Amino acid sequence: MPINLHNRHLLTLKHHSPQEIDYLLNIATDLKNKKKSGIRGNILSGKNVALIFEKPSTRTRCAFTVAVVDEGGHPEYLGKNDIQLGHKEDVKDTARVLGRMFDGIQFRGFGHQVVEDLAKYAGVPVWNGLTDDYHPTQVLADFLTVRENFGRLKEIKFVYVGDGRNNVANSLMIGAAKMGMHFVIGAPKSLFPDSLFVKECNEIADEHKSGAKIEITDNPIEAVKNADVIYTDVWASMGEEAIMSERKKMLNSYQVNMHLIDASKNQNVIFLHCLPAVKGYEVTEEVFESEFAKQFDQAENRMHTIKAVIVTSIGNL
C-alpha cells in the first residue's frame, strides 16, 4: 500500500509504522538534496504553521521556521508569554482557535497531555517539538544521521548513556524498537527507564517483528562494547535544573569521554548528542571536538526531517 501521512499528527512516534518512519527519512533525504542543489520549494505555499513554545529552543524552533519558509509557507512563533494558553485559556479552546487559522501546530512544553489535547481538539495536524516525556522529531534526525553514516538502522548497536528515563531516551527506545536496532541504555539504576515502558517497547518490537533488542545496564563500559553509536543528553532536562548537583553525583561515571569511546573497541563508532550540550558534564570537550562527533550533522538534520514531517502531513503534494 502506498504510504500517505496526510493530516497525521506526530506525538510520540508510537503511531508511526517502521515503513512510515523509513518513508519520512527518505523524504528528508530528498528534501536535503533539493535544498543543497539550491532549489527553493513551494510545497507549503499558502500554509500557515503555529509554533508554540513553553520551553526555550534553538534547533527545534529554527528547524520548524526554516523548513516552513523553505517550502513557501508562513511560520508564526508563539512564545509562552505571547498567548493566552496556560494563563487565561485552556488547551481545548486554544486548540480550537488555532485550528481555525493554522494548517498545522507545533507544540513544545512540559506536560505531554497538552500536546495530546491540542491534537484532539485542533482539527489540524499537531507535531510534538518536545514534552517532558517524548521528543519524536529529534529521533528522526538522529536516525537520518545514523543512516547517513552506516547506510542502515537495522541491527545497529545504538547506546544511550546518561539519564535513561528522559524524553530523548524514551523516544529513542520507541524508534529503535520499531526499526530493529540493538538499543542499549547505560544509566544508574535510579535512572533506569520505567519497566512498564521497556515492556511496551519490547511489545512494539514484537508487533512489527523488527528484530530489535533492548538492554538496560548500569555498567557504562559493558554498555558501549561494540557500539556503532554512543549517544548522550544533558543530565538535567529543562525544568530539572534545581537537581543538577544531585544528578552530577549520580551520573559522573556515565560521562562520554575518550575512555568510553575507546571502550567501544570500534574505530568507526560515532558520537551523537541532541544538543544543547553541557561540556565537562555528560560529554568532554575532547569527544565533542573529535573525529567521532557528528552532532552538528545531526542538528542540521533536524531541519530536513522536520520539513519531511510537515510537508507529508499538510503539504500540497
Catalytic residues: 108, 135, 138, 233, 274, 302
> Under the criterion CB under 6 A, does residue 274 sit at the interface with ligand CP?
yes
Q: Are 290 and 271 in contact (CB under 8 A)?
A: yes
> Under the criterion CB under 6 A, does residue 66 sit at the interface with ligand CP?
no
> Under the criterion CB under 6 A, does residue 224 sit at the interface with ligand NVA?
no
> Under the criterion CB under 6 A, does residue 54 sit at the interface with ligand NVA?
no
Count residues contacting ligand CP (CB under 6 A)?
9
Find the shortest distance in angstroms from Cβ 205 to ligand CP. Answer: 25
DSSP 193: P
Answer for which of 12, 57, 166, 301 binds ligand CP (CB under 6 A) is: 57
CA angle 200, 312, 211 (to 5 degrees): 30
Give 130 or 187: the residue with its C-beta nearer to ligand CP: 130
Find the shortest distance in angstroms from Cβ 202 to ligand NVA. Answer: 23
Give 68 or 130: the residue with its C-beta nearer to ligand NVA: 130
Give 130 or 179: the residue with its C-beta nearer to ligand CP: 130
How far is 232 from 287, CA to CA, in rounded Å?
12
Q: By CB under 6 A, what part of segment 92-151 binds ligand NVA?
A: 130
How far is 164 from 169, CA to CA, in rounded Å?
6
C-alpha cell at 160: 544511550
Give 182 or 273: the residue with its C-beta nearer to ligand CP: 273
Q: What long-range pairs does 96-101 form, CB within 8 A, spacing at least 24?
A: 96/121, 96/122, 96/123, 98/50, 98/122, 98/124, 99/123, 99/124, 101/48, 101/50
> What's the number of CA atoms in the CB half-sphere (13 Å) around residue 5?
26
DSSP 140: H
Residue among 78, 120, 114, 79 nearest 96 (CA): 120
How far is 263 from 184, CA to CA, in rounded Å?
15
- State the virtual CA torsion across 273, 228, 25, 291 in degrees, nearest 10: 60
Give 48 or 128: the residue with its C-beta nearer to ligand NVA: 128
Answer for which of 9, 59, 178, 294 binds ligand CP (CB under 6 A) is: 59
The stretch among 117-125, 140-148, 213-221, 229-237 that binds ligand NVA (CB under 6 A) is 229-237
- What is the DSSP pairing of strand 48-53 with strand 126-128? unpaired
End-to-end CA distance of the chain: 17
> Under the criterion CB under 6 A, does residue 236 sit at the interface with ligand CP?
no
Find the shortest distance in angstroms from Cβ 251 to ligand CP. Answer: 19
> Under the criterion CB under 6 A, does residue 275 sit at the interface with ligand CP?
yes
User: Which position's Cβ is nearest ligand NVA?
Assistant: 237
Q: By CB under 6 A, what part of segment 6-25 binds ligand NVA?
A: none
C-alpha cell at 279: 561540556
Find the shortest distance in angstroms from Cβ 93 to ligand NVA. Answer: 27
How far is 214 from 165, CA to CA, in rounded Å?
14
Find the shortest distance in angstroms from Cβ 256 to ligand CP. Answer: 16
Q: Which does 167 bind (CB under 5 to 8 A by kind): ligand NVA, ligand CP, none?
A: ligand NVA
> What does the binding site for ligand CP look like in residue numbers (CB under 6 A)?
57-60, 130, 138, 274-276
> What does the binding site for ligand NVA look like in residue numbers (CB under 6 A)?
130, 166-168, 233-234, 237-238, 274
